[in-house]
Amino acid sequence: MLPRPHLVKKLCPPHSKLTYIHADAGHGKTTLLTQYAKGRRNVVWLTLDERDNDPLFFLPRLEAAIRQSLKELNFYTTDYIPFVESATFVPSVSSALLKAIGKRKLSILMDDLQVIHNDTVIKLLTALAVACPSNLSLLMASRHELWSSLLPLKMAGGVTELTRQDLCFSREETKQLWGFFDEAIYAATEGWILAIQSYRLATKDGRMLPTSRLQADQELYRYLLKEILQQLPVETQHFLKATSGLPVLEPRLCNTLLNIENAQRILESLVHHNLFTVRVTAGSYRYHALFRAFLQQNDEGLGTIVLRQAMKYYYTNTEYTQAADYALLLRDTDTVQDCIGALLAQPFTWNRTHSLKKYLDFLDQQSVELFPRTMLAKGMVLSDQGNFYQAEKCLRKAIPQLNSNEQHLYLHAMTHMARVLRNRVSFEESNRCLDTLLPLLNEAPMQEWYGVMIEKIHNLTLTSHLTEALELIEKMMEKCLACGELGVKAWFERYLTAVYFFMGDYGNCVKAYEKSLSIPREEQEWLMRHSVGAYAAKAYQITGQEEKALPLLEAEIRRLKELGLYEEYSINYLLQAEVLHAIELLKYYQGKPARFSIINHYLSLAEEYALLNRSTRDHHLFVQIWRLSSVLLAQPEKVGQYIEEALSFLENTTPFIQSLACGRMANALDILGLDMEQCKRLFHQSIQIGEKIGSYAYATVAYGRLAAVYLREGDLAKAKEYTRCFLELSRKYNHRYYIRFQTLFEPVMKLAVESNICPGFTRDLLSYGDYVTKQVYINTLGNFYVAPAHDKDTPVRIRTMKARELLAYLLEHPKGVTRAQITTDLWADSDADVPNLFHTRRGEIRQSFEALGASNPILYENERYYLNREEISCDHDLFWQAVEEFRQSDTPENAETVVNLYTGRYLDNLEALWAENSRLKYEESFLEAAEVLLTNYRITGEKTKAQVLLRRCKSLSYYGHRYEQSP
């Protein structure tokens, strides 16, 4: 006996008055009651039989059983026997019995309740259940469903019900019992415990599984014949035998086939009595698998006759899929082929390859000659599966045999031929084939327009004719609107996911995909011939929703496998490799261990399916170049070799791949510090190729990478120009993920902040990329003030002058100062409570910074106070950077930069006597640069500029004597 503690725990929960267990014979009801009773005290067990339908037999028996458990019981059946026919009998007995039990704990278990049909006994047990107190546990087990008299109690939540579904053995329990596991046998048993136990006993002595299964089946069949079938009314036996061949039982169909009117009643009775019949939906039923197999063995030929009648019925009523399914059961090859032909003639079923495949597989097994339409269907299925060689053979044989009035079939067949040509000859041949179909579409429904035009759009997209693809989709969507075909419009709109992906417009790519999810599932399966989920997955990653990428990719590949659509495997595996590669790149740039080898498995699968059943090499080149460009950082010693190899492939592939590959190669050269001229040339090529075809998939990133290169080279004008392009394109097309590569983009983002380029979007990207952003700007040359980093000309108020001076003082001392130094330099003459003054002014600074989104800037460490500059930008940083560049190269240009950045006397609006030395240093540096610039103005004859600069120099009183003469 296998312990089932999880089920025992479900019995008699606190809120329940009755636990009712019901299931077919052999489902372990008695065993479960036994496990519940084990170890419990005061248990009353009654196994009921036919005699218990007599209240005068049942009641004394119940009394004796309870008395045996409780010993003392103030209840005597003989007191109530005279009133058995009275209307007060049931309430009197139930009330007296429960009163006699009182508060004592007791469990009453009744097994085989299905034998009870006496109205008085049923009422008595119902009354006991309804009035059952919390100290009494009442459990009943039956083969039948709940009595109708107990339904109100069930509706009130007073019944805990365990059904066949609860009692069936799980796979784990079955394996534990058998000591091995066989999925086919388990599936046949459907968890039926008696059958599972029978198979265990049959294999006990080491008999081979096929032999032991046959023996177990025969033993089960004998049990079902003797204990179930032969116990039923003749009418029910006949119904079971006649319907044994039907996989699904519908009362309406059963009435028609058997010429009866009570099929619903018979089926409901079988369900109610738990006779191996399952209600599938409100209007359909099925038999337990083993029970159906048993019936078929004992149906005396009736099952086959009725099954054939059902097949003809469905075919006559144009329900060809049902008819074909029944023809499969009858192994009727001609009817299967007739059904396939009829299905092809229906507008929305000719491309349901998943359903057609099983019929074609069956016909292949029978080695029969195929009808022309069956051959056509086979070609279509093979085309969808990506078996283009065999598909071409079937299509070329079937298409000439189509009748002249079968134009719609001709269109569908030729669209599949176009797919074959795309993969076996070229995109150009595929397009020529499609172009020949256009004249035939004039009067065609929009569904047929879609079948032809989506192939054209797909070809345009994969060959980087993206503008044409987008315009054609928009044209088709307008045509659908004009025709009122909103469903077909949604089909075309769905493919925008792919077009926007190749255009690098990832924001709209995601929107198109999410909108397509409202398309009905059945249509989605048909549309999967042109899979778009993988494109959306990569777009999710780039738009900053990376958590959605891998689950979507895995779901898309799983769905393609279920539908057998192999043509789309290559691009899906390639994009899975790409998503994983981006994840590893992020680790690499964050200084974490990166496993670039993780993508090799998916690249190999992409390569395998790129070659499978294809003569063209477009997909294969796609994969090869992607592989080469993806491993550059992982194998830096082979960069030159890989780049040379990749460049040799580029002229034979699409502009989209060329743009991507050039960008990837340029990035690797930059990261590894190799051949910067080639690096810049490749970045520019990536941009030019991409922009020419309207694709910013990598061109956007290339702008950002070139901005970083020009920034390093000191070409600030170009750096700003390319930074602006990078950020504007990123904002337009929602590129985000690569911003997280901080080692690549931090200088560019810093430049964007300092130059106020796309300020709102820049702040958004910095937040997404987890950059430590500058929130506060401090101006020191001229007036001292604090402002938001993104709006430097709008000062914020720091309440007191003393707080402003404290902030300036800490800025002046980057290595920190003690409180004593602060007190001496700032507040030596103050009569105020200095410690309290310090903390008050420090609090004022903190509040002002927090208002700007920054943390408290004043830190205390090793008994010194200092300013945390992580979130602060300051004008004097740029000034001293310019001074350093000027002193290294005193060109007029560098001198002009210093002069322009000196916007006024250091801390001019603060008395700050402690800053005098610094003020002199700033002035000295300004005047050094001014001298070089004045000399240049004299040489170039720019007198006006020289006069203006000279006046600035004279205004500095300390140095004014140097400039008495006019320039």
719 contacts 707 by C-beta, under 8 angstroms: yes
Q: Which residues pair with 781 in a beta bridge?
A: 906
Q: How many residues in total does the chain contain? A: 967
Q: Which residues pair with 160 in a beta bridge?
A: 19
Contacts (Cβ under 8 Å, ≥6 apart) of 957: none
727 contacts 752 by C-beta, under 8 angstroms: yes
Average pLDDT over residues 782-796: 88
Contacts (Cβ under 8 Å, ≥6 apart) of 94: 124, 127, 128, 131
357 contacts 564 by C-beta, under 8 angstroms: yes
Q: Is the pLDDT of residue 498 over 70?
A: yes
Q: What is the pLDDT of residue 128?
A: 95
CATH ID of 232-317, from 1.10.150, 1.25.40, 3.30.310, 1.10.10: 1.10.10
Q: Is the pLDDT of residue 767 over 50?
A: yes
What is the band of 154 on the pLDDT scale with cuts at 50, 70, 90? very high
| Angstrom distance (rounded) from CA 301 to CA 315 | 22
| Angstrom distance (rounded) from CA 310 to CA 147 | 35
536 contacts 494 by C-beta, under 8 angstroms: no
DSSP state, residue 227: I
Among 567, 541, 566, smallest CA distance to 553 is for: 541
The count of other CB atoms within 10 Å of the CB of residue 482 is 10
Q: Is the pLDDT of residue 774 over 80?
A: no
Average pLDDT over residues 683-699: 95
Among 714, 725, 738, smallest CA distance to 664 is for: 738
What is the band of 960 on the pLDDT scale with cuts at 50, 70, 90? very low
How is the chain split into domains, by residue range? 5-167, 232-317, 332-561, 566-653, 655-771, 776-875, 876-956
Among 289, 18, 31, smallest CA distance to 156 is for: 18
How buried is residue 172: exposed, middle or buried, by Cβ count under 10 Å (0-12/13-18/19+)? exposed
Which of 187-196, 626-635, 647-656 has the weakest average pLDDT?
Answer: 626-635
pLDDT in tens, 541-585: 999 999 999 999 999 999 988 887 877 888 899 899 889 988 988
DSSP state, residue 739: G
- 3 Cα distance to chain centroid: 39
> Which phi-psi region, left, alpha or beta, contains residue 331 (left: φ > 0; alpha: ψ -120 to 50)?
left
Instruction: Report helix, strand or coil for 31.
Output: helix
Q: What is the pLDDT of residue 206?
A: 58
Matching residue, tokens 């014979």: 25
Q: What is the pLDDT of residue 470?
A: 97
User: SS3 letters for 912-967?
Assistant: CHHHHHHHHHHHHHHHHHHHHHHHHHHHHCCHHHHHHHHHHHHCCCCCHHHHCCCC
Averaged pLDDT score across all residues of the chain? 89
Q: Is the pLDDT of residue 73 over 60?
A: yes
Task: Report the amino acid identity of residue 524.
Answer: Q
| Angstrom distance (rounded) from CA 19 to CA 39 | 19
pLDDT in tens, 111-125: 999 999 999 999 999
Q: Is the pLDDT of residue 925 over 80?
A: yes
What is the band of 967 on the pLDDT scale with cuts at 50, 70, 90? very low
pLDDT in tens, 500-550: 999 999 999 999 999 999 998 888 888 888 999 999 999 999 999 999 999
Q: What is the pLDDT of residue 902?
A: 93
Which of 291-300, 787-796, 891-900 has the weakest average pLDDT?
Answer: 787-796
Tokens representing residue 638 in the block: 């082979």
pLDDT in tens, 730-750: 999 999 999 988 888 989 998
Tokens representing residue 150 in the block: 């107990």
Average pLDDT over residues 13-24: 93
Among 68, 27, 46, smallest CA distance to 138 is for: 46
Cα dist from 340 to 323, 360, 371, whole Å:
10, 9, 10
pLDDT in tens, 591-633: 888 887 888 888 888 888 777 655 556 666 677 776 776 666 6
The count of other CB atoms within 10 Å of the CB of residue 904 is 16
Q: What is the pLDDT of residue 964?
A: 46
Among 735, 744, 712, 709, smallest CA distance to 589 is for: 744
225 contacts 298 by C-beta, under 8 angstroms: yes
DSSP result, 679-713: HHHHHHHHHHHHHHHT--TTHHHHHHHHHHHHHHH
| Angstrom distance (rounded) from CA 319 to CA 321 | 6
Q: Is the pLDDT of residue 959 over 50?
A: no
Among 337, 355, 326, smallest CA distance to 564 is for: 355
Classify domain 776-875 at the CATH topology level: Arc Repressor Mutant, subunit A (1.10.10)
Q: What is the pLDDT of residue 868?
A: 87
Q: What is the pLDDT of residue 346?
A: 76
Q: Which residues pair with 279 in a beta bridge?
A: 285
Q: What is the pLDDT of residue 279?
A: 92
DSSP state, residue 21: E
Q: Do domains 332-561 and 655-771 have the same CATH topology?
A: yes
Q: Cα-flanking dihedrals φ and ψ of residue 160, to 5°?
A: -95, 120
The count of other CB atoms within 10 Å of the CB of residue 798 is 21
Q: Which residue pairs, CB below 8 angstroms and at least 24 apart, start in 858-867?
A: 858/810, 861/816, 862/816, 863/818, 864/815, 864/816, 864/817, 864/818, 865/810, 865/816, 865/817, 865/818, 865/819, 865/822, 866/810, 866/813, 866/814, 866/815, 866/816, 866/817, 867/807, 867/810, 867/811, 867/814
What is the band of 484 on the pLDDT scale with cuts at 50, 70, 90? very high
Question: pLDDT above 70 covers what percent of the chain?
Answer: 95
744 contacts 842 by C-beta, under 8 angstroms: no
Among 318, 488, 347, 457, smallest CA distance to 412 is for: 347
Tokens representing residue 551 in the block: 């689950």
Q: Does domain 5-167 have CATH number 3.30.420?
A: no
Name the H helices within 463-548.
466-483, 486-494, 496-503, 506-516, 521-527, 533-542
CATH superfamily of 332-561: Tetratricopeptide repeat domain (1.25.40.10)
What is the band of 205 on the pLDDT scale with cuts at 50, 70, 90? low
Class of CATH domain 655-771: mainly alpha
Q: Is the pLDDT of residue 451 over 60?
A: yes
Among 46, 69, 68, smallest CA distance to 57 is for: 46
Q: Which residues pair with 159 in a beta bridge?
A: 18
pLDDT in tens, 313-334: 999 999 999 999 999 999 999 9
Instruction: Report helix, strand or coil for 274.
Output: coil
The count of other CB atoms within 10 Å of the CB of residue 130 is 16
The count of other CB atoms within 10 Å of the CB of residue 776 is 21
Q: Is the pLDDT of residue 961 over 50?
A: no
Q: What is the pLDDT of residue 965?
A: 43
Torsion angle of C-alpha atoms 82, 88, 94, 96, degrees rounded to 10: -70
Q: What is the pLDDT of residue 353?
A: 61
Q: What is the pLDDT of residue 52?
A: 95
